[in-house]
Amino acid sequence: MENRKLLVYVGIGLLIVGLLIGSYFAFRSPWKFREDRPIRILWLNSYHEDMEGVIGQIQGFKASLEDNSISYEIKAVHMDTKQEMSEEERQEVARESIKIIEKWKPDIIYASDDNAQKYVGVHYLNNKIPWVFSGMNGNPEDYGYSNSINMAGVLERELVNKTFELLQNVYLVKKIGIIGDDSFSVSLARERVRPDIENIENIEIIGWYFPSFFEDYKEKIKEYNEKAEAILIFATHTIKYENREIVPVREVMKWTVQNSQIPEFSFWDFMADNGVLFSVQVSFYNQGYRAGELAKKILIDGERPIDLSIVSSTKEDVIVNLARANMLGLKIKSSILVNSEVIEEFPWDKKI
């Protein structure tokens, strides 16, 4: 009788131990990093290494990890898809990127800007490797990210109202011409902001124009100078010469400020750096920083990527180009300058 009781107690004890062990593994986060080494991060950059917005994002991402005392190593893969490429060439870049990922076996992938999502991220939906992004101009559902268990990140959304409010504080206008390159990222941005821009009161849009070639760009700038009072310039990274070689952004903007007599403005800081009167942009640094925070929540806190909100950064950076203001004979209010990054000379005038 006592032996039977002992067997029952032992059985109950083993059952309890089994349940505890099973519960531990059932609720143990598969995402949490537990190894005794630096976290391996593969940074998949859609564009080239020294592109202005790219630099801000990776700086913010690293700063976020370092602020949380996270030990890491980063392998960078630069897809360089801003250059002139056929669709097949882009797909080949994607295949090579995937080979690097599979060989290096990162603990997490940090992907910046849309082409990394469009050409590579779609192959990692519901994958065991966590994927964190920033600088996404498209919508998560465009890439299948919304219901993917391993995806989390930061959207890039233009601050249309803040930009136009600053324009009217700097230079009161009613007629705007809009121009930019024909890149994928710009096409996403322009379609997203178009309803907001066209709903701004007391503003008439003279035209939307996104050429491939420099000569066409020049003709439209001249036309806007006759018909508009200011020009909204999106990015100009893929504007080409007739031989299809890319015209450097600096050259495009140098020609623009030397041949336009009305103010230009933009949604991105690198445009003010390169000559336009001012830019109001969502902070690239803040986007990267918030992506780093998401990486920390996944790898250190053990949270599921799908449970983390896909967020938008609302922190703005205002950049004013005083050289352009002086060229146009405009006086910028001190209340604006004190809250802005001020560019005092054109990049082509800087002494090496």
Q: What is the pLDDT of residues 151-208, one digit of tens each?
A: 999 999 899 999 999 999 998 899 999 999 999 889 989 999 999 999 999 999 999 9
CATH number of the domain where residue 277 is located: 3.40.50.2300
How confident is residue 26, by pLDDT bands cut at 50, 70 and 90?
Answer: very low
Residue 27 lies in a domain: no
Mean pLDDT, rounded, for 107-130:
97
Closest CA to 210 of 232, 241, 243, 242: 232
How confident is residue 82, by pLDDT bands cut at 50, 70 and 90?
Answer: confident
Mean pLDDT, rounded, for 126-132:
97
Number of domains in the chain: 2
Helix segments in 228-268, DSSP class H: 249-259
Residue 121 lies in a domain: yes
Residue 150 lies in a domain: yes
pLDDT tens per residue, range 242-281: 999 999 999 999 999 999 999 999 998 889 999 999 999 8
Element (H, E) at 323: helix 322-328
Which pLDDT score, from 0 to 100, does residue 227 have?
98
Which pLDDT score, from 0 to 100, does residue 314 have?
72
133-145 as b/e: b if 16+ CB within 10 A = bbbbbbebeebeb
Question: Is the model's pLDDT at 3 over the cut of 70?
Answer: no
What's the chain's average pLDDT?
Answer: 91
Which pLDDT score, from 0 to 100, does residue 10 have?
55
Mean pLDDT, rounded, for 290-312:
95
Residue 17 lies in a domain: no
φ/ψ of 213, rounded to 5, equals: -115, 150
How confident is residue 2, by pLDDT bands cut at 50, 70 and 90?
Answer: low
Report CA 187 to chain centroid distance, whole Å: 14
For the chain, percent of residues with pLDDT exceeding 90: 80
Tell me how long the chain is: 352
Contact between 106 and 40 under an 8 Å Cβ cutoff? The reply is: yes
Q: For residues 323 and 128, give the distance between their C-alpha atoms in angstroms, rounded to a whole number.
A: 51
Same domain, yes or no: 150 and 166: no
Same domain, yes or no: 69 and 165: no
Q: Name the more confident of 337 and 52.
A: 337
Which pLDDT score, from 0 to 100, does residue 280 have?
94
Residue 267 lies in a domain: yes
Which pLDDT score, from 0 to 100, does residue 4 have?
62
Which pLDDT score, from 0 to 100, does residue 245 have?
93
Same domain, yes or no: 261 and 164: yes
Q: Which two tokens stand for residue 177?
A: 């011409």
Contact between 257 and 233 under an 8 Å Cβ cutoff? The reply is: no
Which pLDDT score, from 0 to 100, does residue 315 have?
79
Same domain, yes or no: 326 and 223: yes
Same domain, yes or no: 221 and 265: yes
Residues 6+ apart with CB under 8 A from 197: 160, 164, 178, 203, 205, 232
Same domain, yes or no: 328 and 306: no
Burial (CB < 10 A; 0-12, 13-18, 19+), residue 258, is exposed
Which pLDDT score, from 0 to 100, does residue 316 have?
85
Question: Is the model's pLDDT at 149 over the cut of 60?
Answer: yes
Q: For residues 309 and 154, give the distance between their C-alpha atoms in angstroms, rounded to a whole number.
A: 9
Which pLDDT score, from 0 to 100, does residue 196 have?
94
Same domain, yes or no: 213 and 321: yes
How confident is residue 20, by pLDDT bands cut at 50, 70 and 90?
Answer: very low
Same domain, yes or no: 138 and 223: no
Domain containing 134 equals 39-156+284-312
Q: Which two tokens stand for residue 313?
A: 């950064």
Which pLDDT score, from 0 to 100, does residue 23 have?
43
One-letter identity of residue 55: I
Q: What is the pTM of this model?
A: 0.76
How confident is residue 283, by pLDDT bands cut at 50, 70 and 90?
Answer: confident
Same domain, yes or no: 43 and 138: yes
Mean pLDDT, rounded, for 85-102:
96
How confident is residue 24, by pLDDT bands cut at 50, 70 and 90?
Answer: very low
Same domain, yes or no: 201 and 78: no
Same domain, yes or no: 164 and 152: no
Residue 338 lies in a domain: yes
Same domain, yes or no: 137 and 116: yes
